[in-house]
Amino acid sequence: MKESLEEIIQTIYLLPEQVLEEVLVNFQHLEYPKNYFLLKSGKPCKHLWFMTKGAARHFYTNEQGKEMNTWFSLDTQIIVDTTSFVKQEPAHESIQLIEDSEMYSIEYAALQVLLQKHHSFALWFIKLVELHYVAQIEDRIADLQFLDAKKRYQKLINLNSGITNRVSLGNIASYLNITQETLSRIRAGKL
């Protein structure tokens, strides 16, 4: 796990010393308790977060009022509702912490200024999107389309060892797009 913001940033794409310093001052270090909402649907996503410790879930609320998880962010992941962030339009999803968490955040407006000002920061941002976003999200589509519930579960726990101790069965089931009952039966080896 990476502790320092500088390390997180430089691992994505190496910035010149002077640019790095200017970037760093635009980030804020934050701590929030379990259940805190980073984003509520209907509001634009004004921040991009780097989580250094903790866990969050992204979810929609469907017409029947049921919450459906679309994503988990554990520890060192980037957190953002990309669609809402890039267009600064009301978010469709909400983002809620499921553990006490620590993170760094940067505001949309500050990011735009840095992108316009520094060529190297624009290249950094491209790498960020490529590394942490594109691959993951295309994988998710393939999983939903090709794998059955049991395989989706196995893949999830392979990639996130320990997730079962940190995220409730109901939350995991919702991410896998199955009911709690079905996940319980998968775990019990009955499916």
Partner DNA sequence: ATCATTTTTTGATCTACATCAAATCAGTTT
Partner DNA sequence: AAACTGATTTGATGTAGATCAAAAAATGAT
Which residues are at the interface with DNA (CB under 7 A)?
A: 148-150, 168-170, 177-185, 187-188, 190-191
Beta strands at 67-74 and 37-39: parallel, antiparallel or unpaired:
unpaired
Piece in contact with its own copies (CB under 8 A), picked from 3-11, 37-45, 124-132, 153-161: 124-132
Residue carrying the six token digits 């960020």: 128
Q: What share of the chain is helix, strand, coil (3-state, %, to 5)?
A: 50, 25, 30
CB 69 within 8 A of CB 163: no
- Could you say whether residue 14 binds its own copies (CB under 8 A)? no
Residue 60's binding partner among its own copies, DNA, none (Cβ under 5 to 8 angstroms by kind) is: its own copies
| Binding residue (CB under 8 A) for its own copies from 1, 17, 65, 145 | 145
| Binding residue (CB under 8 A) for its own copies from 8, 20, 30, 129 | 129
CB 69 within 8 A of CB 174: yes
Cβ proximity to its own copies: between 84 and 105 the closer is 84
**Which string of b and e fits 152-188 if b means at least 16 CB within 10 Å?**
bbeebeeebeebeebbeeebbbbbbebeeebbeebee
The residues that touch its own copies, with contacts defined as CB under 8 A, are: 60, 62, 68, 70, 82-83, 86-87, 92, 115-116, 119, 122-123, 125-126, 129-130, 133-135, 137-142, 144-146, 177
